[in-house]
Amino acid sequence: MATFTGLSALWFALIGLLWAGYFFLEGFDFGVGMVSPLVSRDDTDRRLCLNAIGPVWDGNEVWLLVAGGATFAAFPLWYALLFQGAYMALFLALLALIVRGVSFEFRGRIDSPGWRRTWDIANFAGSLVAALIWGVAFTNFVHGLPVSKAGYTGGLIGLLNPPALVGGLAALAVFAFHGSVFLSLKTTGGLMERARSAARLIGTAAAVLLGATVAWVAVSPRPWQALSGAVPGAVPLLLGVLAVAALGVAVLFVVRKRDGLAFAGTGAAILMAMGAVFASMFPAVIPASNGAAFSLTAGAAASHPYTLVVMTIVAGIFTPLVLAYQGWTYWVFRRRLQRPSAGVAPPAPSEPSLAGGG
């Protein structure tokens, strides 16, 4: 079995960072989609919820595309075996993201309450299903998968084991908490207060569910950690515990109406949780629960070193530009959204002039 090199380890870490960035940014998009029906009192509130993420949601999706592209280029065997063994799960995630994306564009096309309600449901369902699937998937990466010489062959049903389902619910709750806090940062008046109330309840549930997931994974055997170069188990465990603690601190900040600090807390929890996932996996990219010898390692799955060198140079040139552009976008649309005067509807989130108003 091939051993990992410095470049393969580097790109494993970079892919972990890309996924962490995706969940940090897209996580509050998912959360807003899920909590919007809970905090909205009328169509204007629902429109404001969508406007809060309207200018940025598609840019946040870019992180997923880059993570997938980087995996394909840096670890083609990992990419191939994932699509071979978990095709249905990935198809459902893609379908949920498509339905959710279409809902942003179609909701305001026809001036009909029934039409808008349909696309509100689509946005809610797409956000919920995608969040749940990602949580189940990454919990399986930490808990381990039964792998044969042909790779993972358990299909969708094999992914739905008890620890993964708890992890999926934890991800769903964490993203809903993240989105609730984001809404409290971006709105005013009654909608802001209802978002805070939802955040207090959802945040408590998120901390409990994530804590249960961390504890379950901690007591589960992880035979791939016997591989050369594995990170000591105390490191991912510490990161997981810190993620749970960050959620608890974020709840306290919500209670004190410190929305900015609460959002920093939920974001830190997501970043540390993803750090725990990738630290627990390494050096395996597909960890096998049935024995270290069946695990696919980063070294065995990696592309030729020349490919990794070229990728590193390209990433070093273009990543700062992408980060600067996305940071500028958030700065432009940083102001809170205000409920319009009576009789004036807020513009649809697909209209560029709309969602940045404060």
Note the pLDDT tens digit of each residue in 267-310: 999 999 999 999 999 999 999 888 888 888 998 999 999 999 99
Is residue 319 within 8 Å of 325, Cβ to Cβ?
Answer: no
Confidence of residue 352 (pLDDT cuts 50, 70, 90): very low
Distance CA 264, CA 112 (A): 38
Neighbours of 88 (CB within 10 A): 12
Distances (CA, A) of 211 to 68, 74, 199, 205: 28, 33, 17, 10
The predicted structure's pLDDT at residue 347: 63
Of the pLDDT bands very low, low, confident and very high (cuts 50, 70, 90), residue 35 is: very high
Average per-residue pLDDT for the chain: 90
pLDDT at 149 over 80: no
Angle (nearest 5°) at CA 175 between 53 and 266? 95
Cα separation, 201 vs 210, whole angstroms: 14
> 10 Å Cβ neighbour count for 262?
29
Alpha helices in the chain, H assignment, sequence order: 6-39, 43-53, 57-74, 76-85, 87-106, 113-143, 155-159, 162-186, 189-218, 234-255, 259-281, 298-301, 305-332
Mean pLDDT of 17-32: 95
pLDDT at 145 over 90: no
User: Distance between CA atoms of 208 and 174, rounded to whole angstroms?
Assistant: 10
**pLDDT of 261:** 96
pLDDT at residue 142 is higher than 50: yes
Is 346 a residue whose pLDDT tops 70?
A: no
The pLDDT tens digits of the residues spanning 92-102 come to 999 999 999 99
Give φ, ψ of 296 to 5 degrees.
-90, 120
The most confident of the ranges 185-199, 216-230, 343-357 is 185-199
The confidence score (pLDDT) of residue 356 equals 38
Check residue 348 and give its pLDDT.
Answer: 61
Kindly state the tokens that stand for 50. 């969508």
pLDDT of residue 36: 95
More confident residue, 290 or 168: 168
Q: What is the mean pLDDT of residues 138-161?
A: 84
Distances (CA, A) of 53 to 150, 255, 337: 42, 24, 11
pLDDT at 185: 93
DSSP structural state of residue 348: P
The CA-to-CA distance between both ends of the chain, in Å, stands at 57
194, 35 Cβ separation under 8 angstroms = no
pLDDT-based confidence at 256, cuts 50/70/90? very high
Q: Is residue 17 within 8 Å of 303, Cβ to Cβ?
A: no
Which element (helix H / strand E) includes 188?
none
pLDDT tens by residue, 191-217 = 999 999 999 999 999 999 999 999 999
* pLDDT at 3 (0 to 100): 47
